[in-house]
Amino acid sequence: MIRLFDRQETQFNHNKTILTPLSCYVIEEANGMFELEAEFPKNVSITEGDIIKAPSPRGEQLFRIYRVKKSLKGKTAYARHIFYDLSKNFLVKVELNNESCFTAIQSVLSNCETSHNFIAMSDVLTQNSVTYKRINPIQAIIGDENSILNLWGGNLIRNNFNISIKANGMDRGYEIRMGKNLIGIDADIDESNAKTRIYPTVELDDSTITLPEKYVDSPLLVNYGEPIIYTEEIKLTDEQKALPVNDIYNIMRDYCNDLFKVDNIDKPVINYKVDFIELSKTEQYKDLAILEQLDLNDIVTVNVSHLDINVKARVIKYKYDCLKERYDGIELGDFSPISNYSTDNIVKQLQKGIKASQSAAEYATNVITGNKGGYVVIRRYPDGKPYEILIMDTEDINTAQNVFRLNNSGLGFSRQGYNGIYETAMTIDGHINAKYIDVGELTTILLKSMDDSISINLSNGTFALKDSHGEALITSDGVANSDNFSMTDNIQNGYPLTMPFNIDDKTSNIKKVLLKYTQQSFRTYSTTASSGGGTSATSSTNESTIFVSPLTGNFQTWEAQQSGDTPHSHYFNVDHGHAISVSGHGHTVYIAPHSHALNFGIQEQAISDYSFTVYVDGNAVVSVTNDSANAQGIIDLTAYVTAVGWHTIEMQSTTLKRISAQVNVKSYIRS
């Protein structure tokens, strides 16, 4: 989806204006341009300054339109990545003194004159000093002669408002072997500057020192048929010049070998342009599917078959089709700036020759071997036996600031003198403290934070990230997930409590299914109901004979002959005795239509029987006995819910009661 936002927009998650361009491409170069170009029909309303959100290999990205070109056919919008909004900001002065790349880019962003939403990080280990005065942040990061990328090195990754400078791209561990008839890939291999044999020299006291064996050869010497020879003059420090000549020879050999191993002067410069439209037509395309997964600065190994050489190549440029959401083309080559990209208000020209980033091992090697070694002081007991070794920046323990200390309690480094804090240290009991720890391979079973709030467990081929309670948050099965389903209802024979629920098809492991319940008294919410009126008849079935003695006055009497008769009265006015016979008869009783007011309220009926049966997917699995101790409880149903999809839990009872139930499903989900 491609969306358009107003130039003042700060929230980019809505779909107010969806665009349907005729074509839309994103083009990005390593440490260089990052632009979008899209064609639209004439009736589409787009303006300079508006923001387009479009797909890219790094997910959806924001681009601000800087030019709209109109023609008879339609409109073409040109937009730069939102990163370049920083070109409108300003730095008065930023001073950096022997700082890391992370500190450098953080300082640039935090000292902008206008507030912004950009954040940054870096894992580049080198340290440098520089002062930026009266320039914009883009110039400080990538455009100035003393920019962060020029001084510290690294690979710039722009992800909307997140800016990263990475020491290395991701090495996919993939090797590309190019066939002779593989269309869609244009290979450019330049051997002209490769060197395989070095004739090193050192100028010393008006004389030239050369090696006894004259040359230092590359391991790839034979690959080129004949040696490619050149000379290299090596500059020595004053301390190195004072060394014995054999030591100087070793320095010369090491220097030349580093030119082969580190600088790769014995390998050709390669550049591959991959046209995915053409490549997709070939049978070999399926073997190169890894190319679809690459991002800028990622590394692949390219086999130069005619030289039998493997070289590392980076993704240095790509063109991405935003409508098809796939690469249109990528370019692989050695890591160097590609473009002379220039735009108004940004950078007139990016400098060439950006430093290649160093690995952690290279950084440590250069820091250690690039120093004189300092002053070594051996501290001794009164009897002369040594107990501690110090390596310091001065020979006086009272004035030294940088102190490396080794004794039977461990080793450590302090920047605050002998009695200062040893921030980098390894103690005899196995504790290691360091600001940075860079390893090629770390073998361990358990990693824990200092406050035990989180731990990573690696054992028996499994992985678990646990919180402070020992609960696994992430495992090799996926991310921990918990779902709850609740219901409350009255139940009795034939009317169960039924709970349908679904386990997502992305669930990789159902860890636990628990049914939690509580039994309650049955409840109804009205004690009376309205009634009407009408006419009904009653009848008697037997005669009644009454003997009355002489009497004057009115009186009444009745006699029920059997229990089913309806009592009623007869009236007589007698002043002497008669025998009266009343035959069996009936009466009609009329009740006038009327109503009663509803009497709302809660009426409860206590639980008489605590037993019930649990059914899972129609199968009876658990029976709870008639015991008040079972008024509430937890039932483990894990063994009965083992597959993804829909399931049903029923709770059936022969007696009237009310049940509140909750199903808790703990699982691990893979996205």
Which of these three, 317, 333, 349, is where a domain ends? 333
> Does 413 reside within a domain?
yes
**Do residue 187 and residue 272 come from a single domain?**
yes
Q: What is the pLDDT of residue 310?
A: 67
What letters, b where the CB count within 10 A reaches 16 and e where it falls short, cover 612-637? bebbbeeeebeebeeeeeeeeeebeb
Residue 380 lies in a domain: yes
One domain, residues 413 and 510: no
Same structural domain for residues 70 and 60? yes
**Looking at the domain assignment, is residue 339 inside a domain?**
no
pLDDT above 70: percentage of residues in the chain: 70
**Are residue 256 and residue 397 in the same domain, yes or no?**
no
Q: What is the CATH number of the domain that holds 610?
A: 2.60.120.1200
Burial of 480 (0-12, 13-18, 19+ CB in 10 A): buried
Q: Is residue 440 part of a domain?
A: no
How many distinct structural domains can be found in the chain?
Answer: 8
Between 291 and 551, where is the model more confident? Answer: 291
The label of the residue with tokens 């589409």 reads 44
Residues 219 and 244 in one domain: yes
Same domain for 633 and 583: no
pLDDT over threshold 50, residue 443: yes
Q: Read off the pLDDT of each residue in 382-392 and give the average, rounded to a whole number.
A: 75
Q: What is the pLDDT of residues 290-305, one digit of tens each?
A: 566 677 888 877 766 5
The three-class DSSP label of residue 285 is helix
Name the 3-class secondary structure at 493.
Answer: coil
Q: Angle CA(171)–CA(172)–CA(175) in degrees, nearest 5?
A: 105
Q: For residue 21, is it within any domain? A: yes
> What's the rounded Cα separation, in Å, for the pair 586 and 17?
86
pLDDT of residue 187: 61
225-229, 390-394, 541-545, 632-636: least confidently modelled range: 541-545
Q: In 521-582, where do the E strands start and end?
A: 522-526, 534-539, 544-548, 553-557, 570-574, 578-582
- Using the predicted structure, report yes or no on whether residue 567 has a pLDDT greater than 80: no
| Main-chain dihedrals φ then ψ at residue 256, nearest 5 degrees | -65, -40
Q: What is the mean pLDDT of residues 602-629?
A: 88
Angstrom CA distances, 241 to 105, 198, 368, stand at 39, 21, 20
- Asked if the model's pLDDT at residue 139 lies above 80, the reply is yes
- Cβ neighbours of residue 43 closer than 8 Å, sequence gap 6 or more: none
What integer best gives the mean pLDDT of the chain? Answer: 78
Whether 391 shows a pLDDT value over 80: the answer reads yes
The pTM for the full model equals: 0.44
φ and ψ at 548, to 5 degrees? Answer: -120, 130
First to last CA, the chain: 21
Are 207 and 184 members of one domain?
no
Residue 418 falls inside a structural domain: yes
313-340 burial, b for 16+ CB within 10 Å, e for fewer?
A: bbbbbbbbbbeeeebbbbbbbbbebbbe
**DSSP letter, residue 107:** H
Residue range of the domain that includes 453: 446-475
pLDDT digits (tens, 9 = 90+) for 627-658: 888 888 999 999 999 888 999 999 999 888 89
Task: Tell whether 351 is covered by a domain.
Answer: no
3-state helix vs strand vs coil in the chain, percent to 5: 15, 45, 40
The pLDDT of residue 191 is above 90: no
Alpha helices in 262-301 (DSSP H): 276-279
Q: What is the 3-state secondary structure (H, E, C) of 361-380?
A: HHHHHHHHHCCCCCEEEEEE
CA–CA dist 319, 339 (Å, integer): 14
Same domain, yes or no: 203 and 272? no
pLDDT tens-place string over residues 411-426:
888 888 887 788 788 8
Residue 185 and residue 245 in one domain: no
Q: Quick one: pLDDT at residue 194?
A: 83
Cβ atoms of 298 and 168 within 8 Å: the answer is no
Side-chain-side CA neighbours of 48 within 13 Å: the count stands at: 5
Structure tokens at 206: 């008006």
Beta strands per DSSP E along 218-280: 229-233, 269-275
Percent with pLDDT over 90 in the chain: 31
Examine the domain organization and report whether 514 and 609 are in the same domain.
yes
For residues 180 and 290, state if they share a domain: yes
Residues 244 and 302 in one domain: no
pLDDT tens by residue, 234-290: 988 888 888 998 999 999 999 999 888 877 888 777 666 665 454 454 555 555 555
**Computed over its alpha carbons, how large is the radius of gyration of the chain?**
45
Residue 410 corresponds to which tokens in the numbers above?
């461990």
| H/E element, 253 | helix 245-261
- Which among 296, 307, 299, 229 is positioned nearest to 268, based on CA atoms? 307
The residue among 127 and 546 whose pLDDT is bigger is 127
pLDDT for the residue numbered 358: 38
Read off the pLDDT of residues 321-374 as tens digits, 9 standing for 90 and up: 999 888 887 887 763 332 222 223 223 322 222 223 334 454 455 545 445 556
Asked if residue 487 is part of any domain, the answer here is: yes
Contact 611, 622 (CB under 8 A): no
The dihedral of CA 405, 411, 415, 419: what is its sign? negative
C-alpha pair distances (Å), 577 with each of 31, 547, 550, 580, 623? 133, 7, 5, 9, 77
